[in-house]
Structure 1
Amino acid sequence: MSGDVWFAILPDGEPGVAAAQLLRPWATETIDHHSGRPWLLGSWPDGQVTVGAAGARRVAVIGRCPVTADELSARAGRLRDAEDMERIAHGLTGSFHLLVSVDGTVRARGSVSGVRRLFHTRVAGATVAADRADRLAALTGASPDERVLAAHLLTSPLPYPLDDHCVWQGVRAVPSYDCLLIDADGWASTRRWWTPPEPQRAWQDGVPAVRAALTAAVDARTAGEDTLSADLTGGLDSTSLCFLATRERLLATREQFPAAREQEQSRPAGPKLVTLRWQSLDPDNDDATWAARATAHLPDIEHITPATGQWPLWYSDLTALTGDAVLTDEPGPWVRDGARMAELCRLMTGRGSRLHLMGGGGDELFSSFPPHLHDYVRRHPLSAWSRIRTQRASQHWPLGQLLRQLADRRTFGQWLTAWAQGLTTPQPPSPALVRGAPSTAWGVDLRMPPWASRDATEAVRELIEEAADSAEPLAPQRGQHTALTCVRTGGRGLRLLDQVMSRQGLGLAAPFLDDQVIEAALAIRVAERSTPGRYKPVLAEAVRGIVPDDVLRRNTKGEYSADFHAGLRGNRAGLLELFDGSLLARAGLIDDAAVRASLLGVHPTPEALRSLSSSLGSEIWLRARSAPTCPPSAARTESAARTESTPSTAITEGAP
C-alpha cells in the first residue's frame, strides 16, 4: 500500500458520531466501539491494525506487533476498566500504539521514544485524537504555529522540553510518557503511563535483559515477512540487527550444529534479507572493511553497495520534495536525504521488501554521553578520577576546562534560562575540532541560525523561558537525562522518515527504539554503558554468539563530513533556488538574503552548516503545505471498496 497511513480515535458517545462525519471523506477504514459508534477511522494497510474483543471491551494494537486478534481478545477478557490497559498489555513486543475502549472510556498511548505519537483537538464538540497532527489540522482548518515553526530553525526534531509542542495551532501533542483518556462526552485528560527506569543494574546483570528485548524486537519485524531489508553500514548497531534477523537461517545452515538444525526444521527459516551500504567519499572511513567482514558471515543475504555515482549526494533533487507526495506532519531535517530515501525505496521494494531495518537508537542507548561524568564524579569520586584520566589521555581534554564543566551545579531550569539568554551568542567551536573539553551540561546550548529574524529569536526565547518555569529533567542524573533526550529526538526523526517512506511502500523500523529495549538498556548504570577502551560493551555482550567475535572487535565509527561538503558543493544552486522567494522569509522568520550569503561563501561557517538542514526542512515543509489538503485520502487499500459501515479489520470475540 502507498499513500497516507493514518488513524483517528473517537469517543464512544454522540459527540464522537458528529466528529466522525467530518472525518469520513478522508477515511477508507472503520472500526466501531461495541456500541456501534465509530471508534477508529483512517487509512492503513492490511496487518497494521489488530483488534481483540471480549463483550463490550475492545483492545487495539496499531503498528508492528506480532499479536493475533485471538490473543488480544484473551487479553481484553482480563480488562476490568481502562486503567487496566498496561497490565493486560504486558509482554507485547514491537512498536505500536495501544488503545482500549471499555465502559464508554477510551484510553490510548504511543511509544516511549516518540516513534508512535498521539495528538488531539476539539472537533464538533468532542475530543478527537490521531497519530498525525496534520490530519487534525486539516479537519479544523488550523494554521502553523509560528512560534513553534521558529523553534524548528533551532533544530529539528525539537529537543526536550520543546519537543511536545505541536506545530499546528489548536492541536496538542500527548506527552510521550502520558496516555490520553477520552470519556463518552468527548472530554479528554492525560495521565502518566511510563516512568524511566532507575539505572541501577550492573552491565553483566543487564546484558541478558537487553539480549532478550532486542531479539524480541527484531522478531516482531521478521514475523510474517518473506523479504526484509536493512542497513548494513559496518557499524555495530546495524550489523547486530542483520545477524539477529538472519539468525534462524544461519542456524539452519550450520552443519556443525545438527541438533540446532533439526530443531529449526519445524520452524520457518526466517525472511530473506537484503542489505544496503552506500560508499563514503572519505577514504579514511573504514565502514566498508567492517561491512565486508560482516557479509562474509552472512552468505544467504543479498548485499547491495551502489557505486558512488549511482547513489545521490545529500541535498539532491530538493525541488521534488515540495509536492504533496512527501508530506510529513511537522518539519524535519530528513529532506537532506530525500533523494537517497527515494533510491532506497526503489532498490528495496524492487526486491520485494516492505520493511527496512535501521540502527537508529543504538548510539543513544549504548554510549555514555559526557554528562554522565558529572554524575559519576559525585557518586564515585575515586573511580571517576581514573576514568577521567583515561579519557583525557585518549581525547586530549584540557584539565581546566573539564574541571569547570564538572563543577557546574545549575539545575535544569537554570540551564534552560541560560540557554534562552544565549540564543544569539557565538557558538563555541566543536570540542572535537579544537581538542576542548566536552560539555557536561543538561543539554546542548543550541544557537539560532545567523539568518533567523529578531522576531523568530524572541519567539524561541519565550518558549524556552516558559519551559524553564515548570519543566523537570527526564531523570535526576544528567547522563540518564541526556540518553532519554537523545532517544526522544531519534524516535521523532524516525517517525518523520517513516511517514515519507511508507507512502512509497517501504516502512521503516528501528528495533533499538522499542519500549522494551529502551527499558532494558536504560536500567543499566550509565557509566557502564560505555567504558574506556571498549566500544558499546553492553550491546557487544548482548549479541555475542549471534554476531561473530571478529565483527565485534570494531571500536571505530564512520565519519561522513566529506559527503556532507560534497553534497553542499554539488547542490548549491538548488539550495539557493529554494530560498529564493522563501516562505519562511514571508512569514518574517528568516532573512533569505542572509541564507544565500551563507551558502555563497567560499567557506560556509560551521554555524551555518549546523543550522542548514533544519531551516531547509522547515522551508520545504511550508512549500509542500501550500497545496490544499483535500479529501479523499490518497491511501487506498484492497478493502477500500467496502462500505463505511463494514469494519475493515476483523474483530475476534472472546469471553465476556
Structure 2
Amino acid sequence: MTTVWLAGGTVEAPAGAVRTSGVWHPPGAVLRVVERGAVTAVVAGMCRGGDDAIARTAEAVAGGRYGEVCALGGSYWMAVHDAVRGRTVVSGDLAGMRPLFTAQNGRGMVWATDAELLAAQLGRGPDLDLLAATVAAGSASHWPHRSVWTGVDRVPGGYALVLEDGVARTVDVRPRPDGRSMESGAPEAGAALWTAVQDYAGTAGPRVSADLSGGLDSSTVVIAASAVTPVVAVTYGGPLADGEDTRLARQVAAYTGAEHHVSAGGAASAHYTGWPRAVPHAPVLTVASSALDADYLPPARGVSPVHLTGHGGDVVLESSTAAWISLAQNGRTRQAKAAVAERARRVNTAPGPLWRAVKEAARRGRPYALERAAEAVAAGQAYGDGPGVWTWCPIGAPARWLTGHGRRTVAAMLDASGRTVGDVDAGEWEDWAALRYNGGALHDSAPLYAEHGIVPVTPFLDNEVVAACLRIGAGERRRPGRYKPLLALARPDLPGWLAGRQSKGNFTPLLYEGLRAHRRELHAVVDASALTAAGLMDADAVHAALDAAVEGVGRPPLGALESFLITSWWLSRITVPAGSAR
C-alpha cells in the first residue's frame, strides 16, 4: 500500500513526487480529484461522500463556509482551491488521525500531512522542550499548535488552514454543543456509528478482522460489522488479561458468530518485552505494548484491507468530570451539585470538598489555573491535585524530575498557554484534548501496526460520529452512576448484558510485569535519554521513580514514567537532519 502524504505551498517537491491540481503527493497514491467550475477538491483517505457531495462541499468551503470541509462521512484530508478567489483551504479530520502541519521556509508558508517531511526539508530537529513539558505536565494539550518537531506547527483537529492573498490563518471548524439533550441526540449518534462501521466492514472484502477486547466499544463494533460480513475477531487473553473482559469477548463472539481467536498472553507479552523495529511518527504508548500486540494480532494479519477497532469510544460516548465544571460555568449549578453528590455517595466521601473544587475551577477558569501551575512547576511543587475531580492542569511528582533549566522552560510554556489560549469551557476543552490525543496516537502508531500487518480503522472517530456525539454537551454525556449512557440510548438494539456493563479492565498488570522484568534495560534508557542530556530532566529523579514503581512503593506516576521511557527511546531512534537546531 502506498503511503499517502500531501503537501503544498512553497514546499520543495520531494524526490519522485507527483503534482496533481496544485498538491504534491507520492506516485501511486489514491486520490479523488473533483472539479466544478473554478473550484477543485483533492481528497485522500476514507471519505464516504460521492463526487457530487464532494463538489458541493468544495463549493461551500470555497465560498467561506469552512465548517463544511469536515462534514462528509469518514476520515480524510481535503484541499479545496478556488482559482477565482485565489483561496486554498486545507483540512484533516476532526480527531487528528489525518493531521496537517505547517512551517515557514523563507519563501512562504509550507503545508504537509507529514511532519517529518517538513522537518527534513527545513533541517529541524525534535522539540525537546515540548517533549519534556508533555512528561512533566502529563499532556501536550496545552500546546495544541506545536508538533514534536521544532519550527513545524500543527493545525489542531477541528481547525482548517486557509491560504489567501499570501496570508495563512487557521479557522475553527469544530461541531459545537447545540443544546440538544442526550436523549434527543442519541438516534443521530447511533445511526452515524452504524453507518461508519458497516461501510468499513462491507467494503473490506469477503470478511473483516476486528479487535474484540470485551469492552463496550469493540464489542459494539463487532456486533455492527457482523450484520454485513463475517468477522474474524482477536482478543488478548491469558493470565494477565482481565477475566471479565475475556469472558464477555467470548460471549460477543458467540452472539455474532464471529471466528474468535484468544491469545495465550502471559509474561512474554508484558510491556517493554522487546522494542518494536518500526519507529512511530511521535512518541506513543503503543511502543510499550508492542509485545502484547504481537501476541494477539497475528490471526488478523492479511484478513482484510482494514482492521476494525473500538478506539475512541471512551472520548465521544462520555465526558470526564470536567463536565461538572462545565455545568457550573454555564450556570447549571443544581445539575452540577447533583452529579457531585452522587459521586461522593458512590465513593463514600463527603460532597463538600468535591463541590468546592468544582466551584473553584469554574470560577477561576483556565488562565488562573495555568498561571498557578506555572508557578508550581517553577518552584518544584504540586498543584491542582484535587479531591478526585478533573482539574485544568494538575502538577504532580513528574514536575520534580525537571532540572532548574527544565522547570523554567516548562513554567514559561504553561504561562504563555494560559495567556494566549485564554478562558474556555472545561467540558469542551477536555473533550477536544482527549479526542486529539486519541486521534494523534492512532496516526502516530501507524508504522507499528504496519509491522504487525494490519491497518486499523476507528469508526468512533470518523467525522460524522464525532460531530453527532460532540453536539451533545459534555454535561449531558456524563450521567451520575451510569457508564457510557449514550451508547445504550444510541443503540437500543444492543443486548442488555452488553449495554449494561459498568466497567472495563485495564493492562496495568502487564505494565508492572514489564517494569519488573526489564528494570535494568529501562534504567539504561533513562541514562541515555536525550531529555537528560539536554539538561531538561534529572536522570537520578527518574531512576528513583522507576525503582519505586518496580518495588511498589507509594503511588508512582506510571503514565509519566511510560511517557518518559517511550519518548527517550523514540528520540534515540529518529533520524535527525544534519545541522538541525533544537
Match of 2:357 among 380, 399, 405: 405
What amino acid maps onto 1:287 in structure 2?
D
Corresponding residue of 2:185: 206
* Gap change, CA 1:284 and 1:117, over 3 Å in 2: closer
Structure-2 residue corresponding to 1:565 = 512
Give the C-alpha shift of residue 585 in structure 1. 2.3
- CA distance 1:88–1:582, shift in 2 (3 Å): closer
Amino acid of the residue matched to residue 308 of structure 1? Answer: G
Residue equivalent to 1:162: 143
Task: Give the 3-state SS of the residue equivalent to 2:78 in structure 1.
Answer: strand
Which amino acid in 2 is paired with 1:509? V
Q: How far, CA to CA, are the matches of 1:243 and 1:558 in structure 2? A: 20
Residue number in structure 2 paired with 1:277: 235
Secondary structure, counterpart of 1:551 in structure 2:
helix
Q: Which amino acid aligns with 2:315?
A: E
- TM-score, with length taken from structure 2: 0.88
Distance 1:205 1:405 in 2: 31
Any conservation in 2 of the 1:106–1:181 contact (CA below 8 Å)? Answer: yes
Cα distance in structure 1, aligned partners of 2:523 and 2:122: 34
* 1:622 aligns to 2:571 (yes or no): yes
Say if 1:369 and 1:608 are closer, same or farther in 2 by CA, change over 3 A.
closer
Structure 1: gaps of 5 or more residues? 249-269, 432-436, 630-656
Letter in 2 for 1:420: A
For residue 225 of structure 2, what is the aligned residue in structure 1? 245
| Percent of matched pairs sharing the same residue | 26
Contact 1:345-1:501 within 8 A present in 2 as well: no
Counterparts of 1:477-516 in structure 2 under 5 Å? 478-502=426-450, 505-516=453-464
Say whether the 8 Å CA contact 1:96–1:116 is kept in structure 2: yes
**Residue of structure 1 equivalent to 2:262:** 305
Structure 2 partner of 1:51? 33
Answer with 94-103 or 210-219: which moved more. 210-219
Where does structure 2 lack aligned partners over 5 or more consecutive residues? none
Could you tell me how far apart the structure 2 residues matched to 1:412 and 1:388 are?
20
The alpha-carbon distance between structure 1 residues 178 and 375, as it changes in their structure 2 partners (threshold 3 A), is: closer
Deviates more, 1:485-494 or 1:332-341: 332-341
Q: Distance in 2 between matches of 1:527 and 1:611?
A: 28
Aligned partner (choices 413, 434, 444) of residue 463 of structure 1: 413
Residue 552 of structure 2 is aligned with which of 600, 603, 610? Answer: 603
Cα distance in 2, alignment partners of residues 375 and 87 from structure 1? 24
CA distance in 2, matches of 1:430, 1:353: 46
Aligned with 2:62 (options 58, 82, 87) = 82
**1:265 maps to which residue?**
none
Size of the alignment, in residue pairs?
Answer: 569
8 Å contact 2:401–2:541 — kept in the other structure? yes
Aligned to 1:633: none
Offset at residue 483 of structure 1 (A): 2.1
State whether residues 354 and 507 of structure 1, in contact with CA within 8 Å, keep that contact through their aligned partners in structure 2.
yes
1:579-619 residue CA offsets vs partner (Å, 9 max, x unmatched) = 34333322222233433343334335534423111111211
Deviations 1:341-399 (A, max 9, x none): 4455543224x233222222222222242232234457444454444333222112333
Task: Give the aligned partner of residue 326 of structure 1.
Answer: 279
Distance change (3 Å), C-alpha of 1:524 and 1:582: closer
Specify the SS of the correspondent of 1:97: strand
Task: Answer whether contact 2:126 2:148 (CA < 8 A) is retained.
Answer: yes
Shift of 1:534: 2.9
Residue in structure 1 matched with residue 173 of structure 2 by the alignment: 194
2:347 is equivalent to residue 366 of structure 1: no
Are the equivalent residues in 2 in contact too, given 1:154–1:614 (CA < 8 A)?
no
Are residue 40 (structure 1) and residue 27 (structure 2) matched? no
How big is the shift at 1:499?
4.2
In 1, the alpha carbon distance for the partners of 2:267 and 2:509 equals 17
Q: Deviations over 1:224-257 (max 9, x none)?
A: 2114222211111111111112223xxxxxxxxx
Tell me what 2:251 maps to. Answer: 293
Work out the CA distance in 2 between the residues paired with 1:41 and 1:284: 44
* Residue of 87, 107, 110 corresponding to 2:92: 110
1:308 deviates by 2.1
Partner of 2:501: 554
When residues 532 and 583 of structure 1 are mapped into structure 2, their CA distance, relative to the original with a 3 A threshold, is: closer
RMSD: 3.0
Q: Is the 8 A contact 2:340 2:355 kept in 1?
A: no
Q: Which residue of 2 aligns with 1:181?
A: 162
Secondary structure of 2:256's counterpart equals: coil
Q: How many angstroms apart in 1 are the aligned matches of 2:195 and 2:543?
A: 48
Pick aligned residue for 1:229 from 176, 199, 209: 209
The change in CA–CA distance for 1:530 and 1:290 in structure 2 (over 3 A counts) is farther
1:257-291 Cα distance to aligned partner (Å, 9 max, x none)? xxxxxxxxxxxxx3x32222212646875212221
Shift of 1:440: 4.2
Normalising to structure 1: TM-score of the pair? 0.79
Deviations 1:126-162 (A, max 9, x none): 4221112111111111122332232232267x43221
Higher relative contact order (CA 8 A, sep 6+): 1
Alignment partner, residue 651 of structure 1: none
For residue 403 of structure 2, what is the amino acid of its counterpart?
S
Whose radius of gyration is greater, 1 or 2? 1
- Matched letter for residue 491 of structure 1: G
Give the C-alpha shift of residue 10 in structure 1. 2.0
The answer (yes or no) to whether the contact 2:69–2:91 under 8 Å persists in 1 is: no
Question: Structure 1's 306 and 389: CA in aligned 2 closer, same or farther, altered over 3 A?
Answer: same
Match of 2:103 among 121, 124, 144: 121
Q: Which whole-Å CA distance do the structure 2 matches of 1:506 and 1:83 have between them?
A: 39
Which residue of 3, 14, 24 corresponds with 2:15? 24
CA drift at 1:443: 4.6
